[in-house]
Structure 1
Amino acid sequence: MPYELDNKLVVAISSRALFDLDQSHQIYEQEGLEAYRAHQAEHEDEALLAGTGYPLAKGLLALNKAGKGEMVEVVLISRNDADTGLRVMNSVEHRDLPIERAVFTGGRAPFEYLRPFSCDLFLSANEDDVRQALKSGFAAGLVYQPPVPNENDGEEVRIAFDGDAVLFSPEAEQIYQREGLTAFHQREKDSAEIPLEPGPFKPFLEKLHAIQRNFSERECPIRTALVTARSAPAHKRAIKTLRAWNVRLDECFFLGGVRKKGILEVFKPHIFFDDQSLHCDPVAVRLPTARVPSDEQEPKRSPARKRRPKRRAAKP
């Protein structure tokens, strides 16, 4: 019988998202492919440090031990070839991660292999691959460099989402960009009873919620949060949209311009998804963070917010 993945939460993760391959990638960029291959072969038996996506992968895979059956699958989908990818798989084995399936494309774009694996989420350090995955209809995040500390202890898996352009479509954000905050609030107030169109992460959230239904709220090993710059009266449409989707978020923060970093340092997510570098940059220093790039220009900063130093996402 073929092995079925349709009924599971499937996360595809690149080698640079799962492990910290920054040093190896610098060798590739500065000295070329052959030097990279030689480096990986020389250090083949040295376990790699955890990458930005490691806490999420580890936490989700641990759900399979909760006695509710095999609910999660993590697939390694990498631009490495099988030879250079051996160090990555050795590191998987060293850390006892139950990852059995891997794709090594030898430098080719891997996003086309997401559909055969029924993937619900793709994490990568390559922006082109992430953008292609998003255009193909998959939830995808561009991981930042691993934070310090770069591992999240505890059995509960915590995932935080921005709203517009992540869980929801960017339609409301576009009104703000074109017409300003007053017009945005008026539009959201007038449209409070009309659910927002879904964003790229709605299907992923629904899969998480399906797993949550297997547990009582008190014992659930997954905790989700909406962390949005929306405030009253724009909060109402977001809440009613989630209600229309029949999806529960455990915690919701309507910040109205307050910095997200402080809230997230309390929530301590295994990963945080946001479409704006304005919010991702300061959070990524301490917490696993992934940006959801968009073809739209990044929203303008509120005049009340101070410009903060940027932390670059890992190079593609």
Structure 2
Amino acid sequence: MNSSPTEADNPNDGRLIVAITSRALFDLAESHALFEEAGLDAFREHQTQREDEPLAPGIAFPLVRKLLRLNPPKPAPARVEVILLSRNSADTGLRIFNSIEHYGLDIARAAFTSGAPTAPYVRSFGAQLFLSANPDSVTGALDAGIAAATILPSKAPSLSSDQLRIAFDGDAVIFGDESERVSQEQGIDAFHRNEVERADQPLSGGPFRGFLAALHKLQEAFPAETSPIRTALVTARSAPAHKRVILTLRHWGVRLDEALFLGGRDKGPFLETFGADIFFDDSTHNVESARRHVATGHVPHGVRNR
């Protein structure tokens, strides 16, 4: 897969840009099921008849609301921009924009593709992160070198915070999957030997390295002691494999506020304690545990997903 897009590929003027599909932002389960069962005409009629009825918030709605709250009052330049991508037509998508207005979300840019794939527009908008309910769209974005995740049906965390709280898995998400390949192919003992022997060699960057760097840059706009953003690494690694992770992040000059080395424990309860607004992981086993506790995005990247 390609490396993360460079700044030249992302003309975003230093903003954090997140592209999100309408099915991740709003609860479109009923209308999507109608489309699958009865076809486009029934879907179009359903949406136009209800275009003044606000859609219910979807899994990623709280995340988007917190992201947009990071912006200073206008006319100061925005720190964060959220782009809406939808396979609706502009006509059937009017209900989506009406819902955005109803909830007071500052989302002005959008692409309505009338059934065509939305992922190609992610790079055009300069987004560093793409969230979708469509796994194929997510895979296409990852192949293009953009951090992307499939938003899964999930439970909202019981512990809420005014802070934006984002948690990441390490290998095959923030980092490359070279160490995970050793674990999968040669076993856990070989993995630990590999990490001890290469502790001073930084890990390669994974698909979310660029997004993490952009998030870190955004954090630097706020005092550390009162930052509205908090990040966490939540990894199955444990000692002695922790050292290489810490030294890699130091080498990159990136700060993570919390690091949980769980040694294979289920991640869900720890993510709930952290109060994650979203958690990103490549492992289907881990996301199944996580989504029972917090909003979760599956990153179909690396050796576990081949």
Match of 1:93 in 2: 101
Give the alignment's TM-score, normalised by structure 1. 0.89
Match of 1:83 in 2: 91
Question: 1:104 and 2:112 equivalent?
Answer: yes
Task: Give identity over the alignment, percent.
Answer: 49
Q: What does residue range 141-160 of structure 1 map to in structure 2 within 5 Å?
A: 141-147=149-155, 149=156, 153-160=160-167
Q: What does residue range 9-24 of structure 1 map to in structure 2 within 5 Å?
A: 9-24=16-31
Report the Cα distance in structure 1 between the residues aligned to 2:66 and 2:175, rounded to whole angstroms.
25
Match of 1:177 in 2: 184
1:45–1:153 Cα change, 3 Å:
farther
Amino acid at match of 2:235: T
Amino acid at match of 1:92: I
Deviation string, structure 1 residues 155-188 (Cα, Å, up to 9, x no partner): 3100000000100011110111100000000001
Q: Could you tell me whether the CA contact under 8 Å between 2:23 and 2:58 is conserved in 1?
A: yes
Report the Cα distance in structure 2 between the residues aligned to 1:192 and 1:84, rounded to whole angstroms.
54
Q: Could you tell me whether the CA contact under 8 Å between 2:54 and 2:98 is conserved in 1?
A: yes
1:250–1:209 Cα change, 3 Å:
same
Report the Cα distance in structure 2 between the residues aligned to 1:62 and 1:72, rounded to whole angstroms.
9
Q: CA deviation at 1:115?
A: 1.5
1:104–1:146 Cα change, 3 Å:
farther
Q: CA deviation at 1:285?
A: 2.7
Give the alignment's TM-score, normalised by structure 2. 0.92
User: Which of the numbers 240, 255, 258 marks the counterpart of 2:247?
Assistant: 240
Report the Cα distance in structure 2 between the residues aligned to 1:57 and 1:256, rounded to whole angstroms.
31
Amino acid at match of 1:276: S
Report the Cα distance in structure 1 between the residues aligned to 2:301 and 2:166, rounded to whole angstroms.
20
Amino acid at match of 1:63: L
Match of 2:7 in 1: none
Q: What does residue range 119-134 of structure 1 map to in structure 2 within 5 Å?
A: 119-134=127-142
Q: What does residue range 217-232 of structure 1 map to in structure 2 within 5 Å?
A: 217-232=224-239
Amino acid at match of 2:241: A
Match of 1:5 in 2: 12
Q: Could you tell me whether the CA contact under 8 Å between 1:120 and 1:139 is conserved in 2?
A: yes
Report the Cα distance in structure 2 between the residues aligned to 1:266 and 1:128, rounded to whole angstroms.
32
Question: 1:204 and 2:211 equivalent?
Answer: yes
Match of 1:137 in 2: 145
RMSD of Structure 2 on Structure 1 (CA): 1.8
Amino acid at match of 2:53: E
Q: CA deviation at 1:249?
A: 0.1
Quick check: 211-220 or 124-133, which moved more?
A: 211-220
SS across alignment from 2:205 = coil
Match of 1:296 in 2: 303
1:232–1:295 Cα change, 3 Å:
closer
Match of 2:170 in 1: 163
Report the Cα distance in structure 1 between the residues aligned to 2:305 and 2:55, rounded to whole angstroms.
34
Quick check: 127-136 or 279-288, which moved more?
A: 279-288
1:50–1:153 Cα change, 3 Å:
farther
Q: CA deviation at 1:66?
A: 7.2
Q: CA deviation at 1:5?
A: 2.6
How many residues align? The count is: 295
- Unaligned regions of 5+ residues in structure 1, if any? 300-316
Report the Cα distance in structure 1 between the residues aligned to 2:259 and 2:73, rounded to whole angstroms.
26
Structure 1 stretches of at least 4 aligned residues deviating more than 6 Å after TM superposition: none
Deviation string, structure 1 residues 124-162 (Cα, Å, up to 9, x no partner): 000110000000000001001252x48985431000000
Q: Could you tell me whether the CA contact under 8 Å between 2:161 and 2:275 is conserved in 1?
A: no
